[in-house]
Each structure stands twice: as structure tokens, then as C-alpha cells.
Structure 1
Amino acid sequence: LRRPSQTASSATTLPQRNAEGKQRQRAVGVRAAVTQQPPEAPAVKEEKDVQVVRLTDDTFTLRGRCYERFKFEVEYGLRAGTTENSYVIEGPEGAALIDVPDRAFARAFVDAFVREAKDAEHLAYLIIGHLSPKRVDSVIQLAKTHPAGEPPIKVFLSNPAHQTLTSLVPADILEATFDLQIVRAGDTLDLGGGHQLQFILTPTPRWPDGLTTYDPKTQLLFTNKLFSAHVCMGEDFDVGGIEAYDMHWRYFYDCMLAPVAKQVDAALKKLPVAAQFAPPCYAGKTGLDVVKADVGFIFSRLLSALNLDINTATNLRLSVGGSRKGAMPGVAGEPLVTAAICPLHGPIIRNSVTELVREYKLWTDEKIRQAEEATVAVFYASAYGNTSALAQAISRGLLRAGVGVETINCEMATVAELQSAIQRCCGFVVGSPTLGGHMPTPMKEALGVILNEPAAKGKPTGVFGSFGWSGEAVDEMEQLLKDGGFSFGFPPIRCKFKPTEGMLQICEESGRDLAREIRKGKAKQRSTSAKSAVVSGSGVEQAVGRVVGSLCVVSAISGDGDAQSAMLASWVSQASFNPPGVTVAVAKERALESLVLVGGKFALSVLGDKNAGAVSKQLLKPFQPGEPRFGDLPTKQASNGATILADAISYLECTVQTRMESGDHWVIYATVDSGDVLDEKTLTALHHRKSGSRY
């Protein structure tokens, strides 16, 4: 392991080191308190296996595959399965394993590794790009394969991952099997044969241990959570490109990375990815160098068309002027030439490198712009991942409603970071687990900072938390904020054990409610010039308002039936004859939006002109998060599980096929599986408007 020389500007002072030490103690404190987990909900049975795929002559991947929804968190909401990807690089100086899978794959993963690796018993290096408590079992299983008397496995990991590993792996296993090396920015590891691995720290509040690895020999970029997707289509690579996987990449980004857009932006700037066959960069080139760049690009385009394997394509490209040196972290202007992006979940990205990196930048820029207009700070700590899942769902609701999110993991945040976040935000939420009948120390300290910050006064708030037995932490937070004179944007959220889909829906709706309150406050602050702009566009708005639609009720239900919602809709239209299909426009801030993903089921009740008033009155009233929408209206259940209005004149049972993003709405195209006319005499209710700026 080689470290770059330390400059005076990068040296830490004693007070800084003391502060860092205190922060590490706070972070370990939450983990140390987790000595006995509460009873877990029954596990869902999944079909799983581990597959070995050769990427190059000396690099392969172990892909743990699950074909059903793998876990309860929002990020798995598309129900497209997932993969847990680990990678092995076999160099002359020893083999390096990059990342370990979730404990569900631990035994099968180790068996596959021992079977496939040329010298598995003498694994020299383990590189941890991300480590959660649920991956520690795989580390322990791996340690059991290490023969006694062999040199310890050198483990390269970030400081937060080091804290997790040392707090959860028994000390005797650590001492006997591993030699821990904390990675600093710019560190490298030479495996021999050109495999001089480069380490790039890419932390986020959700994954403070993020570590990316680049191999200049094969031009493979190992990005852990970045560029991941929870999908298992049976393909190892992104066959079909951006068209086939865009929905899955975007969904993962929206769930996991959109709330930390600023940190994602910082990570992307550290990773100046250029696809292996991308157009040349002429920066700093003159004369013959420009000609060489052009010739190299023409030749590389020919190679791209041949669809060669990664190994052959990389060697041929390097033979026409390429370099095995990727951009070192901090070297401006140098591209990180990438044959494939190797994420922790989903397909290995070879065909869509340029497109996906561009999309990431666009998504990130949009979320940062959104955050500059209005931001909610989400403060949390999590013991088992349940509270972080709640924070994730609330953040998704906030983002869907058009408000930016800044996520702060209180286990890692400094006092200055907490103060800065509360000063910038327009509102905030606080989440905590209950450990030993109380809030953990990091949350107590964070809440103290918030209560003592003058800028926090008058900002709407909310509290949430998970617990195994009694849940006192939520009550403590609520009472302290009430005593401080804060107003609440949604009722306190209490989750026992793991959150269900219904609980996650409540969290998402709570986030949407808080976002709407903040946006209303912002609307009151609009300037006169903004109002003038609205008036000047009134002619267009009035013209659009003359577009008439039938009045319907859309009712959707989650795959396990635990979450459901409904809304009044008039932007409904037939879209195809064969197969029969309809389109429905759903606002991004609607609670129902997260239930009408591709593959989702819903029912469409068409209202008659005689009873539309009563239905509209019921569905247009404000609802608490998770509150049933239909009230006392007579209903019946469709065969797909959704709800049908008994007084509708007809109904359709539909399956979502595609979704198109259209400004502040999603246009849903769905095929009609079944339906019937319930009232042949009554005419369809129509929704007449005078303005196209509102429903």
C-alpha cells in the first residue's frame, strides 16, 4: 500500500483529531448498544443462487441473485429482484476480493469463491467498498476458510467501515485472520501484472464508508452503491442499454441517492468517467497528439461495433495509443477511462457507461436545484437499519412533492454540520431508534443542537422511529420539540420491528404532507413579478383548461396488499385498441404514485354524472397519512385486489406497462385486463375547468 505524501494543508491538528475521536466514539456508541436485536418479522422466502461470471482472464464476479423482492425497504419497491455483486482480481502478488454480499448469500458465496478462485485458500487482500451489519456474516464465513498459519488477509477499508467491522466481528477472528488498513485519499494497492488499484473515497450520509476502486489494467471501475439497481433479469451485463434499465437505475437513485445529492455530486467529480469508446478529449493536445486521438477514436469505434469481450477490447484499445493509467483522485482534466462499471447491485454496466453517467449528473443537478429552492433536513440514527428505512421513505415523499432533502446521519455528523443543516433548511424531521428505553447518545446530542439553534424556531417538524419493545425515543423527541414551541407537519410515526409496506406508505405520505406545507409557505413569499408572470400566461392556461376529461377514481394496491391508496382523476384517456389500454396522469406528489409503478395493478372506476358529487367530496378532503380514502362510500374488491366503487357506471382492472415523466406528473400507460359496465343508462361524468393551472 502506497500513500501520497502529506502536505501541510492536509495535516490534522490535535483539536481536529480529538474531535474526530469523539465522533468515532459517538458512532461506535450506537453500534455497541446493539447487543441483542429485537425479534424480527418472519423472513420472506426467496429463490436465490450465486453465479460466477468471468469478466477478463484474471477478474471474475460472484453474483448472488434473487428473483423476487429481496427486502422490505423502499428501494426494492419495483419487485424486480436484485443481485449482490462481489469481484475477484487475481494478480501475481495475490488475489483481491472486492466487497462481500448480504448474509442471505454468505454460505453460497464462500462456496463459490473457494470453487472458482485459483488460490482461494491464500486470499491476500479484501477490499470493502461498503459494509453494513448484514454483510458481516459473509466476512466471518470468509475468515473460516483462511488456513491457520497463513499470513493474515490485508483488509483495505474506510474509517467508518473499520468502525463497523471492529464493533461486530469477534476480536479473536479479527486478530487471527485480518490485518486492517484504513484507506486515505489517493492510496493505491499493487497486485502486480499492471493491477495497480486506485482507491477513491466516495462517502454519503447513508453510506459513510463508501470506497470506490479502479483497476487501470482492465479499466474496470468498482463503485459499490453508485450506479446500482435492484433488478435481476437474468443478464449479467446491461444488455438492452439505457432503454432496458433506465427505470431501475432511476428508481434506485431516487430512493437512495437523491436525498444526498450534494455528496453524490462530490463523488461524481472524483470519478471523471469516460467510456472506453468515448469521443477523445483534446484538452492540452496539439499537432500530432490530436491526430493520434482521432485515429484512436476511429479504431475504438470499430472495436465497439465488434462487441468484443472486456479483456480483448481493452488490450486492443491500449495498443492504439491508450494508457493503462486512469485519473488519480484530484488530478484535474484526466479522464478515468472505463471499460465497465461494476456496481454492488444490478447488471455490470458496459453498454451504457456514457449515458448512465450523464443521467446521474442530470438527476443530481436537478435535485441540487430543487434543494436550493426549499430543503427539509432529515436527522436520524439507526441501529438495525429500520429507522434509516423510515428516513428513506420520508425523504422519498419529500422529493416526490418537489422539495429538496438533506440527509444527516447523526452518528457521523459534527456539531457544525448539524447547525449548518438546520440553518439552511425550511423544515426538519428527526428519527431515532429506542435503545435501552431511551434515545441513543448521538440523537440526544443532535436534538440538543437543534433545540438551541435560533434558526430552527418556527420551522415545521416531524418525528419518527423504530423500536423492538416500548419506543420511548419517539415520545421523548415529540415532547422536547413540543416544549420548544415547534409545530408538527405530520403525526409522530412509530414503527415496531421492521416496517411493512403500509408503514413505508405512511412515511412517504407524511413526507409529502410536510412538503406541501413548506411549499404553501414559499408560495406566500412569491414576489409581485412572479405573480405577474402567472397572469401573463393566463391565456394559455385558460385554453388548456378547455380540454375535458371523464371523471374517474383510480385505486391501487401494493403487491403484498399491505398498502393501498386512491385518488380522483380526470386526466384519463384511451390509448390503444389492441391490446386495450388507457393512460392516466398522476401528479408526482400524489400518495398513489408510488403504487402505480411498472407491473403494478390498479382499478379505474368511471363515475356517472348523477353521483360524481358525493364521490368527489369524499376523495378531495384532506387525509392523514395512511388513512383509508373511501370512507363510507359503497365499494367492492376487484379480482386484482384493488377497490371498485359500487356506484360506478363501469370499471377497468389494469396493469401498468410503462411510465413517462411529464413535468410535474407521470403519465401511466396500462393495459386493461378485465372490466365491465355496471350502469348502461347513466352518462359519464365530465370534469369542466376554466384554467389549465389546476384540477
Structure 2
Amino acid sequence: MALLTEANPITKAPGLLTIETAQIGAETTAIRCLDWDRERFDIEFGLRNGTTYNSFLIQGEKIALVDTSHRKFENLYLELLTGLIDPGQIDYLIVSHTEPDHSGLVRNILELAPNITIVGAKVAIQFLENMVHQPFKSKLVKSGERLDLGNGHELEFISAPNLHWPDTILTYDHKTKILYTCDVFGMHYCDDHTYDENFNVIEEDFKYYYDCLMGPNARSVLAALKRIEKLEIGTVATGHGPLLQHHISEWLGRYGTWSLEQAKTETLVAMFYAEDYGYSEQLVRAIAHGCTKTGVAVELVDINSAEPQEVRELVGQAAGLVISMPSQNSVTAHAAIGTILAAAHQKQTIGLLESGGGEDEPVYPLRNKFQELGLTEGFPPILIKEHPSQSTEQLCEEAGTDLGQWLTRDRTIKQIKSINTDLEKALGRISNGLYIITAKKGEVQSAMFASWVTQASLNPLGVAIAVSKDRAIESLMHVGDRFVLNVLEEGKYQGLMKHFLKRFAPGADRFAGVKTYPATNGSPILAEALAYMECEITSRIDCGDHWIIYSTVQTGRVAKIDGLTAVHHRKIGNHY
């Protein structure tokens, strides 16, 4: 069956939207939402052939829905689903990951099926609790666990974190030999072919998708491939594009080849945490996010279940190590730490933190042992004494960024020296004003000294700012966030510039000693600023090592009518 509609006026979806179903296995239906004209996938990359959002219905003795769809398909999707089955009969909703294009209708499904059990990774359930703001039944699953739907449909879950979302799981149905992979092995390609029979037509889009989404996490790709290598796979049911059936070995083989090539050139940080102990996983993932902003690869390992050989090999490959302290009562974790100490060497960088479980192995004795081995400390030990707050997570993210910047310092210097002399001198002749961006979200606030700022539109009034991906404030600069653009005054900016250009320790108060007052959007206004504008972010564009942040200006004022904006004149254009 197929339903056709023009763009939904409620969600303002551009272009043509259609939806179709296909029987892809015994008691198994694919629900494919086709977005024919979509030109950009969020902020990540442009699309040439639209995209699809794929959802799946498995009807054994118990019924499972694998993923939902994008909110723009709300009416079409729910109308089709209720035509296939009474939603109240669905027992499980499997959330492969919580990115909105796959989980956008979870709240709707909960309204139709309030007794449904949501199945997902621990991190996914935590994300959903913050997304739907209502209680729901849940089942947390780890790699290797199974769920029996009856009629032979036994589902096995495979952990695949960071592909490309931290909570990703794959699901394998042992009856139909279908592997449900969400983003993994997908592509942004929209046509009415359910499967991948047109290999030559779609291979370019397959590679483009890998480069944009999966390539940055090549080591995680290799780990996922290793976990599924013994499965007999008849169909790869992807979350985007055609399902893979005709050329599975070729597609998976290419992922392996590309990822091996990528992994050889990566700077790696191995992060060890204790799953289900304290806040270990939550905090380590925040550090990992900060690291990846600097272009460093990370690999997360549960210290309670890792094999000694796996730990030894990983430590041998890593430039940096992060350890979240396990419980003093965990014999397995103690053995793993001993393996890490035996494999570590003085060229590595180390970061340690408490897990906050109440019985943590002490940080400082282990810190002393690593110092005796000659390892450099990437950030001071992070000590957790209470439930982590937004500030705690920000501290961890900034610590990860500091670690990543330290590990990539030689690469950064090399890049600065690599631009042609004439070109860098020419670029340096582009002059800019001087500004300080201030932002606050919840209990977290940050600031950034900026010069790459320009007015970008008149109707609506808008400004564009280039923000380096490894800046601490970057996490407060997403679509919907608000900030203040403070304009510095010529001849009176040196004090503020010196303050905000200095290197802050992770979690440090960037406004200590600086006079501010709150804007209507909550962000700090600098009392010494020549002028300020309150802004709301409406889009972000990926520009390599920077984001271009476009924002509409809500309000503003000038403190000194005859004051002039401070201007920055550079001599070279390949670094600040």
C-alpha cells in the first residue's frame, strides 16, 4: 500500500512526502517514509537524492515495533500504522537510537499504546526520559541479550555505540535473519526500490554517507563489524535508504576496508568505565564528547567485562587513557587496571575521575603510579561526590577537549605551517571586529572571544559567527539556543580580551572578576561592552574545523553612541 501527500502544512515539511509498506520477512513489515526532495540532512551534509526513514513491525506471539519516524511524517505514519494494527496491541518499541529522525514519534506511540515497553540501551532510555517527559515502561538491554517474541522471532541485541549516536544498538531476528541497523550501513537515497538491486546507482551515495557519518568513528565501526561477523545475515534493514539484500558482503566489506584505513591514521583515546556503577558511563561519555570535538578517536570499554588481551591491545594503540574508577569490590576491574598499568608507557597522556558510586577505588594512589611511569596528565582528577549536574557534565566535556587538544598539538602546529606564504598573507588582510560571545543554558554558562562575526541578513535581522568545533561554548550553540553578542570598544577592549583569551581549567567560572548583568534570554551582558545584541540560533553549517552559526537578532542596545568597534588586523590568515 502507498499513501501520497503534499508537504504537511503543520510541520512545514518541504517537498513531496510518501509512505509505503513492504513484506520483508515472515510476519515482518517495513514501513518506509520517503522524503523525496529533502536537500540537507540536519546540519551535517547536503542531500542529492532525498532520504527515507525506515521503521519495522514484527508480529510474533508478541509484537515489536523497531523505531518510529521523523515528526514531519506524523500524520502519514500514524494513519498507516493504525491501519496495519491496533497500536494498543504492540508489546515492545525497540529504539535503535534516540536521534529525532528515528524517535520523533515515540511520544505519539506512547499515547496510542500506554502499556508498551520501550527497549533500548541504558543511555537511550535516559535520553528518552528527558525527551518525552512522562513515565513509561522500559527494558534496558546490553550486547548479547535476547528478547523472545514467540513464533521463532528471537531478537538478539548488539551494542554499537557512537554509530553515529552514543546509544546505538543493532537488533538481529534469528528467525528471519534480518539485522536491524538504524543508521549503520544506510544511505540518504530515496526511490521506490525496497532493496539494493541497483548497486551501481547507489554506491556513490553509500560512500558519501559513510564518509559523513561513520568515517569519524572508524574504530567503533570495526568493533560493530566484529560483533556481527558470526551472524547469518539475510537482510540488513537500515534506517535510511534501501534495505541491503543483494550485495551484503560487498557493502559490509567496504565498511571494513574504509574503517581500517581510517583507523591507522587516527589519534586514539581509550576510555575505561564501570557500567552500572555510579555515574561512570555518563561522565566518561561526556569526556568522550569533548575529545571527539578535537578530531580525536575514542573507544569506550566496560572495565568489568573486557578481556585482558583486548585491554592490552587497546592500551598499546592509544595515545591517551581515561579511567573512571571502579568499585573497590570489583576483582575483575582491579585486574583490568593492573593490565592497563603494565601496558602503559611514558609517551601517553592519562586522565582519571571518580565514578560517584560511593565505594570508588581511590584516585590518587593510581595517579601516583601513572606519574611514576612518566605519563602526562591530560586534566586534573575529577572528583564526584554527588549526583552529576549540568555543570559536572560541562566540566567533563571541557576536560575531554583539553585532553584532545594536548594530543593533537603537533598536528595543529603542522597545519598552521602548511599554508602557502602568499595565500596566508592574503587571507590575513581580511579584517574583523572584536566581540565576546556569552551564553547560558540551565546552570551552565560560557564565553568566547570572537572576531569571525558578520551581519548576514536584513530581513530577518541576522548575524553569522564562526565557532571552532573544539571551543567549550560550542555545546551551548545549537539550533534553538540563545546567546549575547557583546561588541568591544576601540581603545577599551584590552582587559576583556586578555581575560577571555586565557586558558581556563575545565569547569572554571569564565566570568569571575568580570562585571555582568543578565539579558532577557538569561545570558550575561558584559558591562564594559560598547553594545550588545540578544540572538537566537536558527541554523548551523559544518565548515570543516568550524561551525557557521546563523542567528536572528531579538533585541540590543548601544551603551555609547559615539564609540567605535574594536577591529582586529591580522598579518597571516591560517590561525587566530
User: Normalised by the size of structure 2, how large is the TM-score?
Assistant: 0.66
Aligned equivalents of 2:435, 2:478: Cα separation in 1: 19
* Paired amino acid for 1:675: G
Shift of 1:498: 3.4
Give 1:394's aligned residue.
Answer: 287
* Paired amino acid for 1:459: Q
Give 1:407's aligned residue.
Answer: 300
CA change 1:365–1:646 in 2 (3 A) is farther
* Paired amino acid for 1:444: H
Kindly indicate whether the alpha-carbon contact (under 8 Å) linking 1:606 and 1:651 is maintained by their aligned counterparts in 2: yes
**CA deviations over 1:484-505 (Å, ceiling 9, x no partner):** 4433111111223432211111
Aligned equivalents of 1:365, 1:499: Cα separation in 2: 38
Aligned equivalents of 1:651, 1:463: Cα separation in 2: 40
Residue 145 of structure 2 is aligned to residue 161 of structure 1: yes
Kindly indicate whether the alpha-carbon contact (under 8 Å) linking 2:353 and 2:363 is maintained by their aligned counterparts in 1: yes
Residue 412 of structure 2 is aligned to residue 440 of structure 1: no
Residue 221 of structure 2 is aligned to residue 264 of structure 1: yes
Residue 343 of structure 2 is aligned to residue 459 of structure 1: no
Aligned equivalents of 1:600, 1:208: Cα separation in 2: 23
Kindly indicate whether the alpha-carbon contact (under 8 Å) linking 1:431 and 1:464 is maintained by their aligned counterparts in 2: yes
Residue 180 of structure 2 is aligned to residue 222 of structure 1: yes
Aligned equivalents of 2:157, 2:91: Cα separation in 1: 29
* Paired amino acid for 1:556: A
CA change 1:382–1:497 in 2 (3 A) is farther
Residue 490 of structure 2 is aligned to residue 609 of structure 1: yes
Helix, strand or coil at the partner of 1:644: strand
CA change 1:271–1:131 in 2 (3 A) is closer
Between 442-451 and 586-595, the greater mean CA deviation after superposition: 442-451
Aligned equivalents of 1:367, 1:635: Cα separation in 2: 50
Residue 380 of structure 2 is aligned to residue 491 of structure 1: yes
Kindly indicate whether the alpha-carbon contact (under 8 Å) linking 1:572 and 1:585 is maintained by their aligned counterparts in 2: yes
Shift of 1:567: 0.8
CA change 1:98–1:269 in 2 (3 A) is farther
1:534 to 397, 401, 418: 418
1:427 to 320, 326, 330: 320
Aligned equivalents of 1:484, 1:520: Cα separation in 2: 22
* Paired amino acid for 1:689: R
Give 1:212's aligned residue.
Answer: 171
List gaps (5 residues or longer) in structure 2.
Answer: 1-18, 31-53, 69-84, 93-115, 127-135, 187-208
Aligned equivalents of 2:67, 2:450: Cα separation in 1: 46
The share of aligned pairs that are identical, in percent, is 32
Give 1:78's aligned residue.
Answer: none
Give 2:340's aligned residue.
Answer: 450
2:551 to 666, 670, 695: 670
1:117 to 74, 85, 89: 89
Aligned equivalents of 2:522, 2:167: Cα separation in 1: 41
* Paired amino acid for 1:585: A
Aligned equivalents of 1:547, 1:329: Cα separation in 2: 56
Asked which structure has the greater CA Rg, the reply is 1
Alignment of 1:177-576 (within 5 A): 191=151, 202-204=158-160, 210-213=169-172, 222-223=180-181, 261-265=218-222, 267=224, 329=231, 336=235, 338=237, 341=239, 369=262, 372-384=265-277, 386-433=279-326, 435=327, 438=328, 440-453=330-343, 455-469=344-358, 471-521=360-410, 534=418, 537-558=420-441, 560=442, 562-576=443-457
* Paired amino acid for 2:382: I
Shift of 1:406: 2.1
Shift of 1:417: 1.1
Let me know the Cα RMSD of the aligned residues: 4.8
* Paired amino acid for 1:648: A
Shift of 1:676: 0.6
Helix, strand or coil at the partner of 1:491: coil
Give 2:519's aligned residue.
Answer: 638
Residue 46 of structure 2 is aligned to residue 89 of structure 1: no
If asked which structure has higher relative contact order (CA below 8 Å, sep 6+), I would say: 1
Helix, strand or coil at the partner of 1:392: helix
Shift of 1:160: 4.3
User: Normalised by the size of structure 1, how large is the TM-score?
Assistant: 0.55
Shift of 1:565: 0.8
CA change 1:470–1:384 in 2 (3 A) is closer
Runs of 4 or more above 6 Å deviation: 53-61, 98-101, 126-129, 133-136, 198-201, 205-209, 268-272, 350-354, 361-364
Shift of 1:691: 0.7
Aligned equivalents of 2:88, 2:28: Cα separation in 1: 11
Kindly indicate whether the alpha-carbon contact (under 8 Å) linking 1:490 and 1:513 is maintained by their aligned counterparts in 2: yes
Shift of 1:630: 3.0
CA change 1:574–1:421 in 2 (3 A) is same
* Paired amino acid for 2:284: A
Kindly indicate whether the alpha-carbon contact (under 8 Å) linking 1:464 and 1:493 is maintained by their aligned counterparts in 2: yes
Aligned equivalents of 1:197, 1:488: Cα separation in 2: 50
CA change 1:650–1:204 in 2 (3 A) is same
* Paired amino acid for 1:667: I
Helix, strand or coil at the partner of 1:564: strand
1:679 to 560, 570, 573: 560
Aligned equivalents of 1:133, 1:683: Cα separation in 2: 49
Aligned equivalents of 2:242, 2:400: Cα separation in 1: 36
Helix, strand or coil at the partner of 1:467: coil
Give 1:12's aligned residue.
Answer: none
CA change 1:571–1:115 in 2 (3 A) is closer
Shift of 1:412: 2.3
Shift of 1:481: 2.7
Shift of 1:405: 1.3
CA change 1:133–1:551 in 2 (3 A) is closer
CA change 1:353–1:633 in 2 (3 A) is farther
Aligned equivalents of 2:57, 2:452: Cα separation in 1: 52
Helix, strand or coil at the partner of 1:513: helix
Aligned equivalents of 1:629, 1:225: Cα separation in 2: 38
CA change 1:629–1:363 in 2 (3 A) is farther
1:658 to 539, 560, 575: 539
Aligned equivalents of 1:482, 1:643: Cα separation in 2: 40
Kindly indicate whether the alpha-carbon contact (under 8 Å) linking 2:62 and 2:150 is maintained by their aligned counterparts in 1: no
Shift of 1:656: 0.6
How many residues align? The count is 451
Aligned equivalents of 2:215, 2:303: Cα separation in 1: 19
Aligned equivalents of 1:409, 1:452: Cα separation in 2: 18
Aligned equivalents of 1:675, 1:484: Cα separation in 2: 55
Between 368-377 and 547-556, the greater mean CA deviation after superposition: 368-377
Shift of 1:673: 1.0
Shift of 1:89: 2.6
Aligned equivalents of 1:504, 1:159: Cα separation in 2: 26
Higher strand share: 2
CA change 1:370–1:581 in 2 (3 A) is farther
Shift of 1:602: 0.6
Shift of 1:626: 1.3
Give 1:40's aligned residue.
Answer: none
